Amino acid sequence: MKVYEALNWASYFLKKNERDENAGELLLRHHMKLDRAQLFSRMQEMMPMDTQSSFVFNVHKHAAGIPVQYLMGKEEFYGRSFFVSEEVLIPRPETEELVVGLLDRVKRHFADATEKLSVVDVGTGSGAIAVTLALENKNLNVMATDIAGESLEVAKDNAEALGADVEFLQGDLLLPFIEQGIKVDIVVSNPPYIPEKEYEGLSVVVKDFEPYRALVGGVSGLEFYERFMVELPQVLKDRAIVAFEVGMGQGEAVKNLLLETFPDARAEVVLDINGKDRMVFAELG
């Protein structure tokens, strides 16, 4: 099979199975270890048989629902490649926007800071947020928590591979800091926010393969934000920033929770590139 024949077959096969046909190109580039330009320059070449076999096998696995990122073992986030496995949520473009918004607010809100700022990424998963913050702003002392040790192992591997200085702690939300009496300047989180009743309606690619614990936020989808409102006052300094990713339609509810907890805060709902309420920021002090 020539390279172009493999690509055409994969695109047709995935489309017929109601999957994104572009995944065929991603898998082909992954198996041939080529970037896009290299792939298109070698379209008339014959594929090695072992490469062809593993490529066809993974195309069938993706057609069955396994996310292409898990098949490749990686996903791009903020211009960097992160390891992913079925123990972590696949990093998404919307979360890149959360990081951009937080970095901008850190520069503005702490413009006169003379010492390093402490930031906690809660429910870190792959470590995408924590690692990116550490690499993008050297004035941040980054810590990250997750309740699952399996997720933390993936996050640690990403921090090591990308050369990011991040301290990882296993625990439920902010409890590791409450128990040690630690106060921080910034809390950021992309917590589980899908309501239980919406879970069954998710795409098979998400529902059957990404971890339930990273997706569902109780009956209302707001369970973790409500828990944060109890814990945040115990760990935030007087001058602080809170940054949340939220589900579509949850922005105002989460903003109101923050204002009930911190009446003097400046809180705002920010839309993502698709015009959906996706981020909520609160600045204290």
Q: 54 and 103, same structural domain? A: no
Q: 124 and 47, same structural domain? A: no
Cα radius of gyration rounded to whole Å, the chain: 21
Q: 109 and 133, same structural domain? A: yes
List residues forming the annotated binding site: 123-127, 146, 190-193
* Structural domain of 24: 3-64
Q: Do residues 262 and 284 make contact, with C-beta atoms less than 8 angstroms apart?
A: yes
Average confidence (pLDDT) over 194-209: 73
Question: For the chain, what is the domain count?
Answer: 2
For residue range 6-40, list pLDDT tens digits in order. Answer: 999 999 999 999 998 999 999 999 999 999 999 99
The whole-model pTM stands at 0.89
Q: 130 and 188, same structural domain? A: yes
Q: In the prediction, which pLDDT does 239 show?
A: 97
Q: In the prediction, which pLDDT does 220 show?
A: 76
Q: 59 and 82, same structural domain? A: no
Q: In the prediction, which pLDDT does 213 show?
A: 73
Residues 27/31/35/39 CA torsion (nearest 10 deg): -90
Q: In the prediction, which pLDDT does 33 show?
A: 93
Residue 70 maps to a domain: no
∠ Cα 81 85 87 (to 5°): 130
Q: 134 and 16, same structural domain? A: no
Average confidence (pLDDT) over 165-174: 96
Tell me the average pLDDT of the chain.
93
Q: 277 and 139, same structural domain? A: yes
Query: Residue 134 above 80 pLDDT?
Result: yes
Residue 69 maps to a domain: no
Q: 15 and 86, same structural domain? A: no
Q: Do residues 168 and 155 make contact, with C-beta atoms less than 8 angstroms apart?
A: yes
Give the H or E element holding residue 184.
Answer: strand 184-189
Q: Measured between alpha carbons, how far apart are the two ends of the chain, in Å?
A: 64
List residues forming the annotated binding site for S-adenosyl-L-methionine: 123-127, 146, 190
Distance CA 236, CA 233 (A): 6
Q: 43 and 132, same structural domain? A: no
Query: Residue 216 above 80 pLDDT?
Result: no
Residue 14 maps to a domain: yes
Residue 177 maps to a domain: yes
* Confidence class for position 275, pLDDT limits 50, 70, 90: very high
List residues forming the annotated binding site for substrate: 190-193
Give the H or E element holding residue 82.
Answer: strand 80-83
Q: In the prediction, which pLDDT does 203 show?
A: 74
Q: In the prediction, which pLDDT does 118 show?
A: 98
Distance CA 109, CA 105 (A): 6
Q: 139 and 99, same structural domain? A: yes
Average confidence (pLDDT) over 50-55: 95
Q: 104 and 36, same structural domain? A: no
Q: 137 and 57, same structural domain? A: no
Residue 166 maps to a domain: yes
